[in-house]
């Protein structure tokens, strides 16, 4: 047996480059500065509701100021920190380069508990919540309680010191509403950050969009609750005054414009109601379309509060706008569907064209639009192929579950039936006009961080795990860095007609000698069949149709692909600097000379500057990015063609290696059990005895009930763990909007 046996993690020494010492120093300095900025920002947010914090802020804003007046000062204090962190994150990601698995292995020799992968809450309204997420929830809860208390004490103190011209009860009710609105404003500053799919901040902390979505959901509930209380208290106060209707439709020039606030709140409430789990499950299209009201919500919120109050939460909104515009530019491209296949279990496999320089991870996903089905709907799907499977394509598996997927499968089957062999030369092949956003995913492929890996899938949840297995086998074959040496796959399906999904990956073809490098155990549970099908050995038919390439022959645009750090960084920096320049020129050349004082109008101008900087300065970078993409694609294609003529093909290498190791017996195994569900207590007990005191990465992709079952068992075992037992790390790869 060769040096890279299954007794040791597969880790080639060749090609491992050590980073210069100054790189680590610069990264440490940048990390320290980012933490200092973030802690200072959070401390300011906590202090602001107090009388001391408010006095300190007013003293700074009104005495020092900036070149852009009051709005510039507020923007610098409250939105500036998040943009500074984004700039520093860009620099840190660029100098970090590719992560080294060898460094990670040296730093994690001993099994250890990690807050991000330790499930604490399992059953409840929040789903599976890790220890790190619990800390974040508690911090937000503490802030809300503290802020409400601080505003209440400020109001009571003010009432005791000064004479109030109107009824004290009315004044207290209205100012309590003002406090709720101020707290909601700071929640709004965070609300859009988790749904910026390609956000540099999410890449910095390595939280992919599908994980961050639930943070947006939590913040959305909290923000709408606070804004609703804000509006409700004011309605009560106006009703007590007897001028409710007149106040609601009032749109003043100096001060808060009430009618835009009412419109903004109604849009927010409509989005919130249609996003509730029951409504979303009943009619996803209703949720999707009404959620586009966020534009109305933001625009009328800016008109409601004016420019300098809106600038408190403008930083997070601006980063979301940049991400949304970048996704819009990427999705304008029509992408080739190379082939489409319909499996008998009701699953569609699409092979999508991509450029060679598009980078993604095995746990990435894309958003797909099929124009023959809908011009508006976008649906997320996990990538089922490894980035090493092919340079010019990627694959996705689509389970038929709703109207959109049913129409897609029907179109493919109909096209296949109509395209008879004798007509293929005379009739044009059917087309699927597709657009793609993404791919999105982890900055760091965390499935390669564990020597011991457990993959738990339910139904179509096997799709990303096919990509993981393919990725690991390709890395073994090509001699690239790869930690996993023990892999257990637990797959629960309803019926045996779903089993052909495994045939979409041919492990022996990818790496014929993989059993020497990795122990692979596949456990399949067919839950709704008590016995195997009568037609044993029957090959299930796969219906497919050929999709002719589009005239442009385009692959997925690289604008939003993972790991494009320099261009995405330039885009953010150029747009931000452009916004500052445009707003400064507007202030100097228009607002000040003409003495513009209307709050809602200045709020509108502030928003227009944000949009203009995105289109002008960001659009310029995107244009240059497109030119670089085309040039790089041509050079890469030429280089690969020359290289392919000079080097032996991979198949020859594989055959050579196979002949050297053909005497070795296989250590992989698979078993199918009918009429049973996975007994995770028994499975985890068996793995504990087999693997011992190690870190075990557990990745789950499936329905919430499956995630809860696995998380509950992991929590139980980690909490009563003995020294010889492993530590299980829970990771969810399920995407649920």
For the residues of 624-681, what is the DSSP string, one character each? HHHHHHHHHHHHHHHHHHHHHHHSPPHHHHHHHHHHHHTTSPP--EEEEEES----HH
| 622 upstream amide cis, omega within 30 of 0 | no
In a domain, 648, yes or no: no
In a domain, 109, yes or no: yes
Are 410 and 525 in the same domain? yes
Tokens of 272: 């919130």
Residue 500 has pLDDT above 90, yes or no: no
Write the DSSP symbol of residue 99: P
Give the Cα-Cα-Cα angle 385, 645, 631 (nearest 5 degrees): 65
d(CA 629, CA 357) in angstroms, rounded, equals 8
- Phi then psi dihedrals of residue 559, to 5 deg: -60, -35
Which pLDDT score is estimated for 71? Answer: 84
In a domain, 720, yes or no: no
Dihedral, 133, 134, 139, 143 alpha carbons, nearest 10: 110
Residue 386 has pLDDT above 60, yes or no: yes
Partners of 697 in the beta sheet?
453, 729
Residue where a domain terminates, one of 469, 497, 531 = 531
Alpha helices in 419-462 (DSSP H): none
d(CA 533, CA 541) in angstroms, rounded, equals 15
**478: Cβ contacts below 8 Å, ≥ 6 apart:** 388, 650
**To which residue do tokens 């279990």 refer?**
345
Q: Phi-psi bin for 401: left (phi > 0), alpha (psi -120 to 50), beta? A: alpha
Which pLDDT score is estimated for 272? Answer: 94
The residue length of the chain stands at: 737
pLDDT higher at 656 or 96:
96
Sequential DSSP letters for 212-274: HHHHHHHHHHHHHHHHHHHHHHHHHHHHHHT-HHHHHT---SSS--HHHHHHHHHHHHHHHHH
Alpha helices in 48-130 (DSSP H): 51-63, 69-74, 80-96, 101-107
Largest CA distance in the chain: 95
Which pLDDT score is estimated for 97? Answer: 65
Residue 606: which pLDDT band, with cuts at 50, 70 and 90?
Answer: very high
E strand map for 459-506: 486-493
d(CA 543, CA 132) in angstroms, rounded, equals 46
d(CA 189, CA 318) in angstroms, rounded, equals 10
3-state secondary structure of 17: coil
Which pLDDT score is estimated for 418? Answer: 58
Are 375 and 496 in the same domain? yes
Single out the residue of 558, 546, 578, 273 nearest to residue 432, CA to CA. Answer: 546
Residue where a domain terminates, one of 251, 272, 287 = 287
Are 178 and 256 in the same domain? yes
Residue 536: which pLDDT band, with cuts at 50, 70 and 90?
Answer: very low
Mean pLDDT of 297-303: 95
pLDDT higher at 472 or 455:
455
In a domain, 165, yes or no: yes
Give the Cα-Cα-Cα angle 685, 690, 696 (nearest 5 degrees): 75
Which pLDDT score is estimated for 604? Answer: 94
Sequential DSSP letters for 351-372: EEE--TT----TT-EEEEEETT
Q: Work out the burial of residue 160: count CB atoms within 10 Å of its CB; fewer than 13 is exposed, 13-18 middle, 19 or more buried.
A: exposed
Residue 693 has pLDDT above 70, yes or no: yes
Q: Which residues of 447-485 are buried (b: 16+ CB within 10 A; e: fewer)?
A: bbbbbbbbbbbbbbbbbbbbbbbbbbbbbbbeebbbbbb
Partners of 342 in the beta sheet?
348, 543
In a domain, 372, yes or no: yes
- Ranking 1-15, 25-39, 214-228, 416-430 by mean pLDDT, the lowest is 1-15
Write the DSSP symbol of residue 335: B
Mean pLDDT of 678-686: 89
Which pLDDT score is estimated for 562? Answer: 63
Handedness of CA 554, 555, 560, 566 (dihedral sign): negative
d(CA 51, CA 47) in angstroms, rounded, equals 8
Are 111 and 167 in the same domain? yes
Residue 183 has pLDDT above 80, yes or no: yes
- Phi then psi dihedrals of residue 268, to 5 deg: -65, -40
Q: Work out the burial of residue 185: count CB atoms within 10 Å of its CB; fewer than 13 is exposed, 13-18 middle, 19 or more buried.
A: buried
Single out the residue of 216, 215, 209, 214 nearest to residue 441, CA to CA. Answer: 209
Are 345 and 202 in the same domain? no
In a domain, 639, yes or no: no
Single out the residue of 448, 520, 513 nearest to residue 484, CA to CA. Answer: 448
Cβ neighbours, 10 Å, residue 214: 18
- Phi then psi dihedrals of residue 736, to 5 deg: -140, 105
Are 365 and 276 in the same domain? no
3-state secondary structure of 727: strand
Rg, Å, the chain Cα set: 28
Residue 63: which pLDDT band, with cuts at 50, 70 and 90?
Answer: low
Are 275 and 338 in the same domain? no
Residue 420 has pLDDT above 80, yes or no: no
Q: Which of the residue ranges 388-397, 501-510, 533-542, 597-606 has the most confident prediction, judged by mean pLDDT? A: 597-606
Write the DSSP symbol of residue 532: -
Residue 12 has pLDDT above 60, yes or no: no
Tokens of 424: 């293929």
Handedness of CA 246, 248, 252, 255 (dihedral sign): positive
Which pLDDT score is estimated for 98? Answer: 58
Cβ neighbours, 10 Å, residue 131: 16
Which pLDDT score is estimated for 646? Answer: 45
358 and 437 Cβ atoms separated by less than 8 Å = no
In a domain, 442, yes or no: yes
Mean pLDDT of 340-363: 81
Q: Which of the residue ranges 187-196, 356-365, 547-556, 632-641 has the most confident prediction, judged by mean pLDDT? A: 187-196
Q: Report CA-CA distances (Å) from 665 to 485, 646, 662, 668, 691.
A: 16, 34, 8, 9, 21
Residue 191: which pLDDT band, with cuts at 50, 70 and 90?
Answer: very high
54 and 48 Cβ atoms separated by less than 8 Å = yes
Residue 575 has pLDDT above 90, yes or no: yes
> What is the model's pTM?
0.85
Which pLDDT score is estimated for 535? Answer: 53
In a domain, 509, yes or no: yes
d(CA 40, CA 38) in angstroms, rounded, equals 5
Domain of residue 347, CATH code: 2.40.30.10
Handedness of CA 487, 493, 497, 501 (dihedral sign): negative
Are 372 and 255 in the same domain? no
- Ranking 215-229, 342-356, 410-424 by mean pLDDT, the lowest is 410-424
Are 395 and 254 in the same domain? no
Sequential DSSP letters for 558-592: SSS-TT-HHHHHHHHHHHHHHHHHHHHHHIIIIIT
Count of structural domains within the chain? 2
Domain that holds residue 493: 334-416+430-531
Partners of 437 in the beta sheet?
367
Are 347 and 442 in the same domain? yes
Residue where a domain terminates, one of 473, 502, 531 = 531
Residues 95-147 have pLDDT tens digits of: 876 555 544 554 456 778 888 889 998 887 778 888 988 998 999 899 999 99
Which pLDDT score is estimated for 608? Answer: 95
86 and 572 Cβ atoms separated by less than 8 Å = yes
Specify the pairing of strand 379-382 against strand 452-458.
unpaired
Share of the chain above pLDDT 70, in %: 82
Which pLDDT score is estimated for 27? Answer: 86
Specify the pairing of strand 393-399 against strand 379-382.
unpaired
Residues 248-293 have pLDDT tens digits of: 888 988 888 999 999 999 999 999 999 988 888 788 788 888 999 9
Are 214 and 79 in the same domain? yes
Mean pLDDT of 55-71: 67
d(CA 342, CA 548) in angstroms, rounded, equals 17
Tokens of 27: 């990264």
- Ranking 450-459, 521-530, 557-566, 637-646 by mean pLDDT, the lowest is 637-646
Which pLDDT score is estimated for 448? Answer: 83
**To which residue do tokens 């906590």 refer?**
46
Mean pLDDT of 536-549: 48
Mean pLDDT of 22-36: 88
Which pLDDT score is estimated for 228? Answer: 95
Q: How many distinct helices (H) and strands (E) make up the chain?
A: 25, 15
Residue 296 has pLDDT above 90, yes or no: yes
Q: Phi-psi bin for 15: left (phi > 0), alpha (psi -120 to 50), beta? A: left
Share of the chain above pLDDT 90, in %: 23
Residue 403 has pLDDT above 50, yes or no: yes
607 and 299 Cβ atoms separated by less than 8 Å = yes
Mean pLDDT of 520-547: 66
Q: What is the mean pLDDT of the chain?
A: 80
Give, for 696, the enclosing helix (H) or strand (E): strand 695-701
Are 398 and 480 in the same domain? yes
């Amino acid at each position: 047996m060769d040096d890279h046996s299954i007794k040791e993690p597969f880790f080639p020494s060749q090609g491992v480059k050590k980073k210069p010492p100054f790189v680590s120093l610069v990264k440490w300095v940048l990390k320290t500065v980012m933490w200092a900025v973030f802690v200072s920002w959070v401390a300011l947010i906590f202090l602001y509701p107090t009388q001391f914090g408010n006095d300190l802020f007013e003293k700074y804003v009104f005495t020092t100021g900036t070149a852009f007046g009051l709005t510039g000062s507020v923007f610098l204090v409250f939105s500036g920190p998040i943009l500074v962190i984004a700039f520093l994150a860009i620099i840190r990601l660029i100098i970090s380069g590719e992560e080294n698995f060898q460094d990670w292995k040296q730093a994690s020799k001993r099994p250890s508990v990690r807050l991000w992968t330790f499930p604490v809450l399992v059953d409840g309204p929040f789903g599976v919540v890790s220890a790190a997420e619990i800390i974040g929830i508690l911090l937000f809860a503490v802030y809300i309680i503290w802020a409400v208390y601080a505003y209440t004490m400020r109001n009571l103190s003010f009432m005791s010191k000064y004479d109030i011209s109107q009824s004290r009860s009315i004044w207290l009710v209205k100012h309590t509403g003002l406090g709720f609105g101020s707290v909601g404003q700071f929640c709004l500053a965070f609300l859009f950050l988790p749904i910026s799919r390609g956000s540099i901040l999410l890449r910095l902390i390595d939280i992919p969009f599908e994980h961050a979505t639930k943070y947006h959901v939590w913040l959305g509930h909290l923000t709408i609750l606070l804004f609703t209380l804000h509006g409700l208290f004011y309605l009560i106060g106006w009703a007590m005054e007897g001028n409710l209707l007149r106040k609601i439709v009032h749109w003043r020039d100096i001060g808060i414009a009430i009618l835009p606030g009412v419109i903004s709140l109604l849009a927010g409430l409509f989005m919130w109601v249609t996003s509730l789990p029951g409504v979303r499950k009943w009619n996803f299209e209703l949720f999707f379309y009404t959620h586009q009201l966020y534009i109305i919500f933001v625009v009328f919120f800016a008109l409601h509060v004016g420019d300098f109050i809106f600038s408190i939460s403008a930083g997070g909104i601006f980063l979301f706008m940049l991400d949304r515009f970048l996704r819009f530019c990427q999705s304008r491209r029509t992408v080739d569907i190379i082939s489409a296949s319909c499996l008998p279990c009701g699953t569609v496999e699409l092979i999508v064209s991509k450029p060679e320089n598009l980078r993604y991870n095995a746990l990435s996903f894309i958003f797909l639009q099929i124009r023959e089905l809908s011009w508006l709907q976008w649906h997320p799907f996990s990538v089922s192929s490894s980035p090493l499977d092919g340079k010019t394509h990627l694959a996705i598996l689509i389970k038929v579950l709703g109207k959109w997927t049913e129409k897609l499968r029907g179109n493919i089957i109909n096209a296949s039936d109509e395209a008879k062999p004798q007509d293929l030369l005379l009739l044009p092949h059917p087309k699927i006009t597709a657009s793609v956003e993404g791919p999105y995913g982890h900055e760091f492929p965390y499935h390669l961080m564990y020597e011991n890996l457990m993959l738990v899938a339910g139904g179509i949840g096997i799709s990303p795990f096919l990509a993981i297995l393919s990725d690991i086998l390709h890395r073994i074959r090509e001699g690239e860095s790869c930690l996993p040496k023990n892999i257990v796959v637990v797959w629960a399906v309803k019926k045996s007609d779903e089993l052909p999904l495994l045939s979409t990956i041919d492990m022996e073809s990818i790496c014929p000698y993989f059993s020497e490098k990795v122990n692979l155990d596949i456990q399949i549970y067919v839950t709704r069949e008590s016995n195997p099908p009568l037609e044993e050995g029957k090959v299930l038919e796969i219906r497919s149709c050929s999709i002719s390439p589009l005239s442009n022959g385009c692959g997925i645009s690289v604008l939003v692909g993972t790991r494009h750090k320099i261009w995405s960084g330039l885009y953010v920096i150029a747009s931000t600097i452009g916004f500052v320049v445009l707003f400064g020129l507007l202030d100097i050349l228009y607002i000040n000379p003409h003495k513009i004082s209307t709050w809602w109008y200045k709020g509108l101008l502030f928003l227009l500057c944000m949009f203009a900087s995105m289109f002008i300065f960001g659009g310029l970078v995107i244009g240059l990015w497109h030119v670089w993409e085309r040039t790089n694609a041509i050079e890469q294609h030429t280089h690969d063609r020359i290289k392919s003529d000079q080097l032996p093909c991979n198949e020859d290498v594989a055959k050579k290696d196979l002949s050297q190791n053909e005497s070795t017996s296989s250590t992989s195994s698979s078993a199918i059990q009918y009429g049973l569900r996975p007994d995770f207590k028994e499975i985890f007990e068996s793995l504990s005895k087999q693997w011992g005191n190690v870190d075990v990465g557990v990745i789950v992709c499936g329905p919430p009930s499956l995630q809860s079952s696995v998380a509950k068992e992991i929590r139980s075992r980690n909490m009563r763990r003995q020294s010889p037992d492993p530590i299980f790390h829970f990771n969810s790869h399920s995407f649920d909007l």
